[in-house]
Amino acid sequence: MPSTRDIRRRIKSVKNTAQITKAMQMVAAAKMRKAQSAAVVGRPYAQLLNEIMAEAATRTVGFDHPLLTARPVAKRAVIVVGTDRGLCGGLNSNLFREAAKLDKDTTIFITAGRKAAQFVARTRRNLAAEFTYKDTPQFAEARAISKFVQDLFLKGEVDAVDILYPKFVNTLVQQPSLTPFLPIGKLAVTTGTNAPAQELPAASSTDVFDFEPDEETVLGELLPHSLNFKMHQILLETKASEQSARMVAMKNATDNAKQIIKDLTLEYNKLRQANITKELLEITTAQMAVG
Amino acid sequence: MAATLKLEIVTPDAKAFSDDVEMVTLTGIDGEMGIYPQHMPVMTQLVAGEVIARKGNANIILAVGDGFVQITGERVAILTDMAVKADEIDEAAAEQALQKAQARLGQKLSDEEAATVQAAVVHATTQLKVKRLIKK
């Protein structure tokens, strides 16, 4: 039977925890809004980039670029984009469960974020490089990762590159998602494009694009750039996922702590009452014995 | 025949410009290009400099960074890392950014940092150049 003092001590400690989780929840909520808007503003750019790439690909005949060519896949690399810090619910564990399904022997891992690097090291998988990114992912950070895997791919050390990252669905749902990164393969207009994109090929399908100075130079610049940009978008999205997951996790923690405080307070009051009743009883019994 | 072109300028931060214009002048990798409606389809690289769009009797001038241009008969799509309207350029801020970036160039930098700083220099100088251009 715990004494009232024990219960009081526990209530105090749970209250402290609740305060911390509440603060973390607020911080995560503020950062989440920032991260989400950062992920959204890049969309028109991504869309136009996609359109241009798709158009460029349909208008060039017999053009090939090393980044476009698919090879039989003997060895592949996976970029695991995780978070730096924990306390974000099941975000990382869900991601790593997917990563664990990949074949250990033929997969090289490249990580972004400290938690991902720890996972790969702990499970003794093949870690080629680990990168970091800041709270607001910079384009330069994305470029570093993207350039590294492009080099791997072009040197023939890997035959395909995929990215595993927590896709942001909405604030409550983040889904681990494995998307192909290299080779770029057949270029196509991806989802989310609106009417002009569908109109254009029909309107000018007979035209052939003129490239200045030539196809190789323009596409040689455009393809790496689009990969860098895609990587950047993924980092932004991961950040949005992380902050959302942390906010939800911390909200749950705060709610739990409040529930515990309520239960403990009830128990404390009951015990206090029982003690008073007991004391009264003792006093009256003593009086009766004396009288 | 369409008398206007749709000019779209998009940066990673925002859709900087989207309007129907009568003519666009921009600097491609092979030199300056003037684009009227029904221009033949071209794809090229954009060099940092000014983009001038004519709409009615007014000229809209923007400072843009490096990027890509796709031209079809009815549309000019510009993808770039910077786009600022000439009258929104803050000369003092650009000057300051330029000095800061140049100071950093003197230090030892990794490739990635150097690329970022180099881009900052290009952005600032382009903004200043365009600002001076419209003052004349």
- The pLDDT value given to residue A259: 97
**CATH superfamily entry for domain A27-245:** ATP synthase, F1 complex, gamma subunit (3.40.1380.10)
Tens digit of each residue's pLDDT (9 = 90 or more) over A141-165? 888 899 999 999 999 889 999 999 9
Please compute the mean of the pLDDT values over residues A58-76 and round it to a whole number: 77
Rounded to 5°, angle at Cα B67 from B5 and A139: 130
**Of residues A164 and B95, which shows the higher confidence score?**
A164
Do B49 and B93 belong to one domain?
no
Count of other CB atoms within 10 angstroms of residue A19: 12
User: Is the model's pLDDT at B15 over the cut of 90?
Assistant: no
User: Are B96 and B124 found together in one domain?
Assistant: yes
State the pLDDT confidence band at A60, using cuts at 50, 70 and 90: low
Q: Is the pLDDT reported for residue B21 higher than 60?
A: yes
Confidence grade of residue B28 (pLDDT, cut at 50, 70, 90): confident
A193 vs chain B: nearest CA distance in angstroms?
Answer: 15
**What distance in Å separates the CA atoms of residue B79 and residue B69, rounded to the nearest whole number?**
6
The full length of chain B comes to 136
pLDDT tens string A169-193: 888 899 999 988 888 765 554 443 3
CATH no. for residue B97? 1.20.5
**B108, B129: one domain:** yes
- Same domain, residue pair B82 and B93: no
A143, A200, A217 ranked by CB distance to B72: nearest: A200
What does CATH list as the number for A4-23+249-290?
Answer: 1.10.287.80
Place of tokens 């128990």: A267
Q: What is the pLDDT of residue B65?
A: 87
Tell me what percent of the residues of chain A surpass a pLDDT of 90: 48
What is the C-alpha to C-alpha distance for residues A252 and A214, in angstroms, rounded to an integer?
Answer: 57
> Domain of B93?
89-135
Q: Does A51 touch chain B (CB under 8 A)?
A: yes
Kindly provide the ipTM of the predicted complex, given to two decimals.
0.77
Indicate if B58 and B111 belong to the same structural domain.
no
- Tally the C-alpha atoms within 13 A of residue B39's C-alpha that lie toward its C-beta: 25
pLDDT at A165: 94
Q: Is B74 on the interface with A (CB under 8 A)?
A: yes
Looking at the fold, whether B9 and B56 belong to one and the same domain comes out as yes
Domain count, chain B: 2
Q: Do B55 and B110 fall into the same domain?
A: no
A91-101 helix and A114-122 helix, angle to the nearest 10 degrees = 40
> Phi first, then psi: what are they for A206, rounded to 5°?
-80, -20
Question: Whose CA is closest to A164, among A119, A110, A122?
Answer: A110
Pairing outcome for strands B58-64 and B83-85:
antiparallel
Greater confidence (A114 vs B87) lies with A114
Does the pLDDT of residue A260 top 90, yes or no? yes
Q: Do A212 and B68 touch (CB under 8 A)?
A: no
Same domain, B13 and B78: yes
Catalytic annotation present for A183: no
Phi (first) and psi of residue A264, to 5 degrees: -65, -40
Q: What's B69's domain CATH number?
A: 2.60.15.10
Asked if residue B98 and residue B43 are part of one domain, the reply reads no
Q: Which residue has the higher pLDDT, A54 or B48?
A: B48
Q: Kindly identify which residue of chain B lies nearest to residue A59, measuring between CA atoms.
A: B41
What does the pLDDT look like over A190-217, one tens digit per residue? 443 333 333 344 344 445 677 877 877 8
Same domain, B82 and B18: yes
Please report, for chain A, the start and end positions of each structural domain, with discontinuous segments joined by +. Answer: 4-23+249-290, 27-245
- Beta-carbon contacts of A261 under 8 Å, excluding residues fewer than 6 positions away, are A11, A14, A15, A18
Do both B55 and B72 map to the same domain?
yes
Least confident piece of the model among A146-150, A241-245, B73-77: B73-77
Do B76 and B93 lie in a common domain? no
